[in-house]
């Protein structure tokens, strides 16, 4: 049978050690059926085959964002963005404009709020109540671990004092022993978030489809989604049925400390659920929070005396739950940012029977040297997001650096060290925490700073990644987390590929930012084609 689609007279970096480079590729029914030189590939084609070529096209395997919140991000991104907003006057101006847009009584929603915009002040709703106007307001912090609300939202949610939660969530209290409007972690945020009007199914589907296409346009062909449950799987089914799911999804079902026996049984029942474009045999735990608010779990407290507690108050319960799902054959990941959290996760995986390449840890922002070595020796996948460096300042004036201090900051986010040891490093964005455009990730991985700041020396002492290592982090390394051998272009492999305007592994990181994405193919179908 002739190929459906062929790309010819181009340069292909296959990442297949048996044939690292080629000049043409043909696909049929979602799989690669021929790859090699143009003459070889044309033998797999006939007059019905769509044949494409372009000057300067450099093809790689499709990129997989190894840590993302696809559906949640699609909803959060409906509000006003505070990305790169650095002072309260600008915050207030944006709030006033949004209030005018939604009208009195409507919900003002925002996201990507940078802690540094507070100018060193402790958040209190009095700072923004006038600007937020008549009606509730909720703003997600940049890390989505904290929500900032106004006084009206506190009243609407009947948040009047301290609350007890099954995890380490906190309602921040002022000196007057009243809530300030800062809500740390999801259980606390839900006190207000649960009151928002629910969007219609049609609205949700439109938002999801919009974001999926936008990610295809920057070379993304798959994501590892890090939250959700049965409703998330239902959304995938609906998108797939409508022909809108042009991303491969590795779904990590959320496991919460408050889950009772019935909830855990329901999670177990999802292991073998699958669609053509998604799987559900992975789980997501959270053992700590974030450094900026003192909820990361540290071996030694931070400069504020915080960092002493895990998100699972009963650590034995966490270990038992890990063991349960390990024995059931799930692939497990745990959010662990602080050095104590990373160590405890490694210990839990070892006690459960070992990772053997199945399990992973997310973020790993401040691991000890000993823990870094264990990623290799214990075959634990390291899932990291170099683009998170965009919030660190070289003078250590940002909240993250101020809390950790000079010594611990020197070894922050050591993706290069863990990679050099031979461990498997998976790269991603954590969108909507950071932009999903992988070109920003390529820059940050190689320069150890963000692309949208004044040039400065690399942050910390950790080794940068090379361009090829970065590409592998978005492709073959992402495929290894489920024991697969994907992320390469060879006969029989899924037809997920991207045509760039140049060799993304060889151009200077500064030139990667504007590198054209001419074509994105997912499952053998053209998901994006530039004009």
Strands of the sheet containing 108-113, edge to edge, are 80-81, 108-113, 137-141, 146-149, 179-184, 170-173
Q: Is residue 118 part of a domain?
A: yes
Residue 238 has pLDDT above 80, yes or no: yes
Give pLDDT tens digits for 359-416: 999 999 999 999 999 999 999 999 999 999 998 999 999 999 999 999 898 889 999 9
For 424-456, the pLDDT digits (tens) are 999 999 999 999 999 999 999 999 999 988 888
Q: Rounded to the nearest 10 degrees, what angle do helices 339-352 and 315-327 cross at?
A: 40
Instruction: Tell me, yes or no, whether 139 lies in a domain.
Output: yes
pLDDT value for 162: 87
Question: How high is the pLDDT of residue 166?
Answer: 86
Q: What pLDDT band is residue 272 in, cutting at 50, 70 and 90? A: very high
Query: The domain containing residue 188 runs over which residues?
Result: 79-193
pLDDT at 483 over 80: no
Question: Could you tell me what percent of the chain has a pLDDT over 90?
Answer: 90
Determine contact, residues 438/391, Cβ cutoff 8 Å.
no
113 is a domain residue = yes
Question: Which ranges of 281-338 would DSSP assign to H, the alpha helix?
Answer: 315-327
The band of 531, judged by pLDDT with boundaries at 50, 70 and 90, is confident
Average pLDDT, the chain: 95
∠ CA 85-451-486, rounded to 5°: 115
109 within a domain of the structure (yes/no):
yes
What is the mean predicted confidence (pLDDT) over 466-493? 93
Give the residue among 436, 349, 71, 428 at the shortest CA–CA distance from 229.
71
Cα–Cα distance between 159 and 179 in angstroms, integer? 7
- Do residues 310 and 334 make contact, with C-beta atoms less than 8 angstroms apart? no
Q: Does a structural domain hold residue 159?
A: yes
Strand pairing of 146-149 and 170-173?
A: unpaired
The DSSP call for residue 199 is P
Higher-confidence position of 142 and 212: 212
Residue 105 lies in a domain: yes
Whether the pLDDT of residue 314 is over 90: the answer is: yes
pLDDT recorded at residue 167: 83
pLDDT at 79 over 90: no
Residue 24 pLDDT > 80: yes
At 179-236, the pLDDT tens digits run 999 999 989 999 999 999 989 999 999 999 999 999 999 999 999 999 999 999 999 9
Element at 200 (helix H, strand E): none
In a domain, 465, yes or no: no
pLDDT band at 168 (very low <50, low <70, confident <90, very high): confident
Prediction pTM value: 0.93
CATH number of the domain residue 107 falls in? 3.10.310.70
Structural domain tally of the chain? Answer: 1
pLDDT for 164 equals 87
CB 521 within 8 Å of CB 527: yes
Is 128 part of any domain?
yes
pLDDT at 482: 75
With beta carbons less than 8 A apart as the criterion, state whether 34 and 22 touch.
Answer: no
Contact present, 98 and 136 (Cβ < 8 Å): no
Residue in 122, 186, 132, 123 with CA at minimum distance from that of residue 156: 132
pLDDT of 503 > 80? The answer is yes
Handedness of CA 256, 258, 263, 268 (dihedral sign): positive
């Amino acid at each position: 049978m002739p190929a459906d689609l062929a790309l010819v007279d181009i340069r292909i970096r296959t990442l297949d050690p048996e044939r690292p480079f080629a000049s043409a590729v043909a696909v049929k029914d979602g799989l690669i059926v021929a790859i090699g030189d143009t003459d070889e590939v044309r033998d797999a084609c006939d007059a019905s085959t769509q044949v494409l070529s372009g000057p300067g096209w450099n093809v790689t395997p499709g990129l997989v964002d190894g840590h993302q919140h696809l559906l949640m991000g699609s909803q959060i991104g409906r509000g006003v963005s505070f990305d790169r907003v650095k002072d309260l006057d600008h915050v207030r101006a944006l709030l006033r404009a949004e209030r005018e847009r939604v009208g009195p009584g409507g919900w003002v929603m925002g996201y990507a709020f940078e802690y540094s915009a507070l100018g060193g002040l402790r958040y209190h709703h009095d700072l923004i109540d006038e600007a937020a106007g008549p009606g509730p307001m909720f703003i997600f912090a940049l890390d989505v671990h904290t929500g900032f609300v106004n006084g009206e939202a506190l009243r609407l949610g009947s948040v009047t004092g301290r609350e007890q939660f099954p995890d380490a969530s906190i309602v921040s209290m002022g000196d007057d022993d009243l809530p300030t409007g800062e809500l740390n972690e999801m259980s606390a945020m839900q006190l207000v978030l649960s009151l928002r009007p629910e969007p219609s199914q049609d609205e949700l589907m439109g938002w999801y489809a919009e974001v999926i296409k936008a990610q295809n346009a920057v070379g993304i062909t798959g994501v590892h989604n890090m939250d959700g449950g049965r409703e998330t799987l239902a959304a995938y089914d609906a998108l797939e049925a409508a022909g809108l799911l042009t991303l491969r999804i590795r779904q990590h079902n959320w496991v919460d400390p408050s889950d009772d026996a019935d909830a855990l049984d329901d999670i177990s029942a999802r292991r073998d659920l699958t669609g053509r474009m998604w799987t559900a045999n992975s789980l997501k735990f959270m053992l700590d929070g974030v450094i900026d608010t003192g909820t990361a779990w540290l071996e030694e407290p931070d400069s504020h005396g915080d960092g002493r507690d895990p998100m699972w108050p009963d650590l034995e319960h966490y270990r038992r739950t890990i063991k349960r799902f390990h024995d059931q054959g799930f692939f497990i990941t745990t959010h662990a940012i602080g050095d104590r959290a990373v160590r405890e996760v490694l210990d839990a995986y070892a006690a459960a029977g070992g990772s053997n390449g199945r399990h992973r840890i997310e973020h790993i922002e401040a691991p000890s040297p000993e823990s870094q070595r264990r990623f290799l020796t214990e075959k634990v996948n390291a899932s990291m997001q170099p683009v998170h460096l965009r919030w660190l300042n070289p003078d250590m004036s940002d909240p993250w650096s101020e809390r950790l201090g000079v010594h611990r900051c020197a070894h922050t986010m050591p993706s290069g060290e863990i990679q050099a040891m031979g461990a498997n490093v998976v790269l991603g964005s954590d969108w909507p925490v950071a932009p999903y455009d992988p070109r920003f990730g390529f820059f940050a991985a190689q320069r150890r700073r963000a692309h949208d700041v004044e040039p400065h020396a690399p942050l910390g002492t950790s080794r940068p990644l090379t361009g090829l290592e970065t590409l592998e982090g978005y492709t073959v390394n992402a495929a290894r987390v489920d024991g697969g051998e994907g992320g390469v272009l060879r006969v029989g492999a899924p037809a997920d590929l991207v045509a760039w305007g140049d060799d993304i592994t060889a151009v200077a990181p500064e030139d990667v930012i504007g590198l054209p994405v001419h074509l994105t193919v997912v499952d053998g179908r053209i998901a994006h084609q530039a004009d």
